[in-house]
Amino acid sequence: MADLKLPSRSQDFSEWYNVLVQRAELADYAPVRGCMVVRPYGWALWENIQAALDKRFKRIGAENAAFPLLIPRSFLEKEKEHVAGFSPELAVVTIGGGETLEEPLVVRPTSETIIGHMWEKWIKSYRDLPMRLNLWNSVVRWELRTKLFLRTSEFYWQEGHCAYATHAEAEAEARWILEHAYTDLAVNLAALPVIPGRKSESERFAGALRSYSIEAMMGDTKALQSATSHNLGQNFAKAFNIQYLDQRNTLQHCWTNSWGLSTRFIGAIIMVHGDEQGLIMPPRLAPIQVVISE
């Protein structure tokens, strides 16, 4: 019979986590290096997180949409700081249908650039603002050191993208998302005590004016970034020419923000609540609400 005893959480926290995720049938390693398979129990937990966040996003009028997985490489190069920040992590497609592509396509690491391209077409007047979109998708960032849920080359998340007429609106809603969506979810549903705050300049999202995050303390005393919200200023609006005519009939660049929470949040739940006996789920998010044992 296989030994079902877990490694000691207090003696080898990393191995305890790795074994627990697989023994609890939350996820498993995929045949592609750095990728994971999310199993039904793990996905049910993610669906509960999705449902809770979706309600909160709709309070500010965010609408769900879908954008392509493949992005022209030239789009990322329009915002220099953005492409520089992601360049080492990009997965690039150069062959399609057996032929070399005229332009390489990047497997999306995030969607600011493709959304910026479309907003240039859609936003023409102050009447088109604010525009608030949210995407439920997966992204690829080629990671060297991976760990189930916490850091994988492909991961699932939501990414919100909003355009506004003023900096004040973009800043206010970037902070609203951090407090009333992410912090509220973490504290009141996941029972995770988190510290919300502003990221340092060295940790700021590539291309952002300023970045905010919630940080949770794990069982091994390390902090885990659990969600982020970014005020992008006018950087992407200028790079992609996202302009609108204001009420004085003057052409203005939009102000934008973006925000995201990923399946890393599941890893946080495991590392905060799990113990030497195994997995413990916060009741308000747990896929299984009652367990009857002999």
- Tell me the pLDDT tens digit for each residue of 48-64: 999 999 999 999 999 99
Is 288 among the domain residues?
no
**Sequence-ordered list of residues with C-beta below 8 angstroms from that of 111, at least 6 positions apart, any chain:** 67, 71, 135, 137, 139, 159, 161
Whether the pLDDT of residue 86 is over 80: the answer is no
Is 169 among the domain residues?
yes
Domain of 33: which CATH number?
3.30.930.10
**Average pLDDT across the chain, whole number:** 94
Is 245 among the domain residues?
yes
Is 286 among the domain residues?
no
Rounded to the nearest 5 percent, the helix, strand and coil shares of the chain are: 35, 30, 35
| pLDDT confidence of residue 188 | 98
Is 290 among the domain residues?
no
Alpha carbons 111 and 258: distance in angstroms, whole number: 9
Which is it for strands 154-164 and 255-262: parallel, antiparallel or unpaired?
antiparallel
- Its sign, for the CA torsion 139, 142, 146, 150, is negative
Alpha carbons 113 and 105: distance in angstroms, whole number: 13
Average pLDDT over residues 143-162: 94
Range in 6-10, 49-53, 185-189, 205-209 with the lowest mean pLDDT: 205-209
Which of 137, 143, 140, 142 lies closest to 154 in space, CA to CA?
A: 140
The structural domain count of the chain equals 1
- Tell me the pLDDT tens digit for each residue of 212-232: 999 999 999 999 999 999 999
Is 212 among the domain residues?
yes
pLDDT band at 4 (very low <50, low <70, confident <90, very high): low
Whether the pLDDT of residue 1 is over 50: the answer is no
Is 185 among the domain residues?
yes
Q: Which domain holds residue 187?
A: 13-69+109-273
| pLDDT confidence of residue 33 | 87
Is 102 among the domain residues?
no
Average pLDDT over residues 98-109: 96
Helix (H, G, I), strand (E, B) or coil at 61: coil
Percentage of residues of the chain with pLDDT beyond 90: 87
Average pLDDT over residues 122-146: 95
Whether the pLDDT of residue 67 is over 50: the answer is yes
pLDDT band at 257 (very low <50, low <70, confident <90, very high): very high
106 or 82, which is more confident?
Answer: 106
**Sequence-ordered list of residues with C-beta below 8 angstroms from that of 183, at least 6 positions apart, any chain:** 194, 196, 214
The count of residues in the chain is 294
